[in-house]
Amino acid sequence: MRALANALDTGRIHHAYLFTGTRGVGKTTLARILAKALNCLGVDGNGGITSKPCGVCAACKDIDAGRFVDLLEVDAATNTKVDEMRELLETAQYAPVSGRYKVYIIDEVHMLSKSAFNAMLKTLEEPPGHVEFILATTDPQKLPITVLSRCLQFNLKNLAPALLATHLAHILETEKIPFEPAALDMLGRAGEGSARDALSLLDQAIAYGAGEVKAVQVATMLGVLDQTYLFSLLQQLANGDAKALLAGIAGLGERSVSFELTLKDLAGVLARVALVQSAGADAVEGPDALRIVEIAAQLSSDDVQLFYQIALLGRRDLALAPDEQSGFTMTLLRMLSYKEGAAVNLESAPAVKPISTGISEQMPANAAPSKAIGAVPDVVSYATLSAAPFDGDWPQFVAAQNMSGMAGMLARQCEFKSFDGGVLELSVPDQHKHLAEKPYQEKLKASLAPHFGGNVKLNIKIGGAGDVSLAATEDRARLQSQADAEAAIEADPFIKNLQQDFGAEINRASIRPAQP
Ligand SMILES: [Zn+2]
């Protein structure tokens, strides 16, 4: 910026400037300062072009207030039409009304259409002496070379976290708002190089802390903010919506978040989801507990284990990726493609047609709910058997071993083929073939060793219907207990009364089997 200041002080004025840098870094703010510098009249009204606009003359004040007639600001993101551009540029031929220069600030200039660029180019090629163009963009690569070559370009660097924190401290001191420096450090980092983002986070922090900015509260606030995008990523994974997922990742890229940290946080959230799935909703606390429980209900526990594993591996390999965002994108797409596609979805099972009016809404608030209308659990538990030697019943064997993690994931989907004392032959259906990858096999082999001996060889083939795996057995049991629960509800005399006396309808999708 010293180069810009020197140029102004020595009167070497270029007629078109281009400010580049990430969003919120201060491009338009700088453009307005430059507009003031060019038009400042000085404290005494006799000033000239200066690198230090006075801020008190009519020109400076009018520019600050956004009513300086010779400053025209356009947001190209909303005014891309060539007609609007042409209209705007036609005014360039008229001399400024009150200022020295007629200043055009065009923000997000890369958004202009090609014809709008051409219209602008004509003026850029032969600019009237009193015209100043100040273009700003986050994306200079998208500008035509003909425009680039006519501009003096300044790249605004991202603001370092410490610099942002100092800036915030200065504001708070002026406003006499108490703060803890550690809180500002966090806000400075969270600003990700953008003064605008840091300021808006500071505003939220002041509101959140009821007039104070304290470290503990800011940590909580930022934590909550962070998890909002983590949850929407998980939601898109649960929905299997690749398009929304990619759009979400692109959004993160624009905010230049650290993808490495995002993967770490994602694994943290998945760990809490797994906790809820195995120990119930009470296992998590905090402002986001409800969202954790929601996600836990939408993902199978296998998927959660898998996502967790993939997140850790993705984070480890991030340094090898062409760039962080690609590495992150591939990691999430991997989750999506390895997600259980064939999981039984009770809502879409043909026998279960949801009816619009939920019975829970129709029930009097003090009525004791029927035992069958439990909230979440749909887990079928198997009696834990002793570590007996393998007797040929693979599903029962797997259930008895209570295998977890990758070994359990593979074992649950496998069908038994044969065992000749040395080689255990299994098959895994095509839609779960990713589970036959080496790391899964090695884990399974290790956990089988106590029963089959350390030298057991695994031979896992891809294919088969998969209907005698533990997973399939459990799915059938789940469907059966669902059908039982629905039958029990329909036979319940209390429910029958509700139907007769209040016209209640049963929302079958809301029926869940009671926990055994
Ligand atoms: Zn001034």
Residue 110 one-letter amino acid: H
Q: Does 344 map to a domain?
A: no
Classify 95 as helix, strand or coil: coil
Q: Does 246 map to a domain?
A: yes
The pair of structure tokens assigned to 503 is 């016209």
Q: Are 162 and 132 in contact (CB under 8 A)?
A: no
Distance CA 485, CA 185 (A): 54
Q: Does 74 map to a domain?
A: yes
Q: Are 415 and 468 in contact (CB under 8 A)?
A: yes
Regarding beta strands 152-155 and 16-20, do their DSSP bridges make them parallel or antiparallel, or are they unpaired? parallel
Q: Are residues 150 and 166 in the same domain?
A: no
What is the band of 246 on the pLDDT scale with cuts at 50, 70, 90?
Answer: very high
Q: Of the segments 38-52, 212-226, 295-309, 449-463, which one has the largest average pLDDT value? A: 295-309
pLDDT above 60: residue 367? no
Taking each helix axis from N to C terminus, what angle separates 438-452 and 405-413, rounded to the nearest 10 degrees?
90
Distance CA 103, CA 131 (A): 6
What is the band of 341 on the pLDDT scale with cuts at 50, 70, 90?
Answer: low
pLDDT above 90: residue 405? no
User: How far apart are the CA of 514 and the centre of ligand 1, in A?
Assistant: 75
Taking each helix axis from N to C terminus, what angle separates 405-413 and 394-401, rounded to the nearest 10 degrees?
160
Q: List the single range of 9-18, 130-139, 219-228, 235-244 with lowest mean pLDDT.
A: 219-228
Residue 516 one-letter amino acid: P
Q: Are residues 334 and 380 in the same domain?
A: no
Q: Does 186 map to a domain?
A: yes
Residue 356: which domain range? 351-516
Q: Does 486 map to a domain?
A: yes
Distance CA 261, CA 248 (A): 16
pLDDT for the residue 349 = 35
pLDDT above 60: residue 342? no
The pair of structure tokens assigned to 145 is 């070379």
Beta pairing partners, 104: 72, 133
pLDDT above 60: residue 438? yes
User: How far apart are the CA of 101 and the centre of ligand 1, in A?
Assistant: 14
Q: Are residues 490 and 370 in the same domain?
A: yes
Q: Are residues 42 and 151 in the same domain?
A: yes
Q: Are residues 330 and 376 in the same domain?
A: no
Q: Are residues 151 and 21 in the same domain?
A: yes
User: How far apart are the CA of 98 and the centre of ligand 1, in A?
Assistant: 13
Q: Which long-range contacts (CB under 8 A, 24 or more apart) does 215-223 make?
A: 215/180, 215/182, 215/183, 215/186, 217/183, 218/183, 218/186, 218/187, 219/186, 220/287, 222/186, 222/187, 222/190
Q: Are 248 and 232 in contact (CB under 8 A)?
A: yes
User: Higher confidence at residue 442 or residue 56?
Assistant: 56
User: How far apart are the CA of 75 and the centre of ligand 1, in A?
Assistant: 25
User: How far apart are the CA of 30 and the centre of ligand 1, in A?
Assistant: 15
Q: Are residues 474 and 393 in the same domain?
A: yes
Q: Are residues 267 and 308 in the same domain?
A: yes
Q: Are 118 and 87 in contact (CB under 8 A)?
A: no
**Domain end point (choices 131, 155, 179):** 155
Residue 442 one-letter amino acid: E
User: How far apart are the CA of 41 and the centre of ligand 1, in A?
Assistant: 5
CB atoms within 10 A of CB 390: 17
Classify 205 as helix, strand or coil: helix
- Strands of 131-137's sheet, edge to edge? 71-75, 102-107, 131-137, 16-20, 152-155
Domain of 167: which CATH number? Answer: 1.10.8.60
User: How far apart are the CA of 151 and the centre of ligand 1, in A?
Assistant: 25
Distance CA 89, CA 258 (A): 41
Q: What is the pLDDT of residues 175-218, one digit of tens each?
A: 999 999 888 988 888 887 888 888 888 988 888 888 889 887 88
What is the band of 330 on the pLDDT scale with cuts at 50, 70, 90?
Answer: very high
Q: Are residues 399 and 515 in the same domain?
A: yes
User: How far apart are the CA of 511 and the centre of ligand 1, in A?
Assistant: 72
Domain of 139: which CATH number? Answer: 3.40.50.300
Structural domains in the chain (count): 4
In this structure, the chain runs to a length of: 516
Q: What is the mean pLDDT of residues 387-406?
A: 74
Q: Are residues 502 and 386 in the same domain?
A: yes
Q: What is the mean pLDDT of the chain?
A: 80
pLDDT for the residue 227 = 64
Q: Does 25 map to a domain?
A: yes
Q: Does 346 map to a domain?
A: no
Domain of 323: which CATH number? Answer: 1.20.272.10
Q: Of the segments 111-115, 122-126, 152-156, which one has the largest average pLDDT value? A: 152-156
Q: What is the mean pLDDT of residues 251-259?
A: 75
Helix ranges (H only) for 126-214 are 145-148, 161-175, 181-190, 195-208
pLDDT for the residue 62 = 94
pTM metric for this prediction = 0.44
User: How far apart are the CA of 96 and the centre of ligand 1, in A?
Assistant: 17
Q: Does 479 map to a domain?
A: yes
**Domain end point (choices 303, 338, 373):** 338
pLDDT above 60: residue 466? yes
User: How far apart are the CA of 47 and the centre of ligand 1, in A?
Assistant: 8
**3-class DSSP string for 348-416:** HCCCCCCCCCCHHHHCCCCCCCCCCECCCCCCCCCCCCCCCCCCCCHHHHHHHHCCCHHHHHHHHHCEE
pLDDT above 80: residue 457? yes
User: How far apart are the CA of 160 and the centre of ligand 1, in A?
Assistant: 30
User: How far apart are the CA of 252 and the centre of ligand 1, in A?
Assistant: 40
Distance CA 280, CA 296 (A): 10
User: How far apart are the CA of 36 and the centre of ligand 1, in A?
Assistant: 7
What is the band of 401 on the pLDDT scale with cuts at 50, 70, 90?
Answer: confident
- Strands of 423-428's sheet, edge to edge? 415-419, 423-428, 457-462
User: How far apart are the CA of 1 and the centre of ligand 1, in A?
Assistant: 19
User: How far apart are the CA of 165 and the centre of ligand 1, in A?
Assistant: 29
Beta pairing partners, 427: 415, 461
pLDDT for the residue 236 = 93
User: How far apart are the CA of 161 and the centre of ligand 1, in A?
Assistant: 31
Q: Are residues 248 and 198 in the same domain?
A: no
User: How far apart are the CA of 126 and the centre of ligand 1, in A?
Assistant: 28
Q: Are residues 184 and 151 in the same domain?
A: no
What is the separation of C-alpha 257 from the centre of its chain, rounded to a whole number of angstroms? 10
Largest CA distance in the chain: 101
Helix ranges (H only) for 240-367 are 242-254, 259-279, 289-298, 301-316, 324-338, 359-362
**Domain end point (choices 309, 338, 367):** 338
User: How far apart are the CA of 53 and the centre of ligand 1, in A?
Assistant: 5
Beta pairing partners, 131: 102
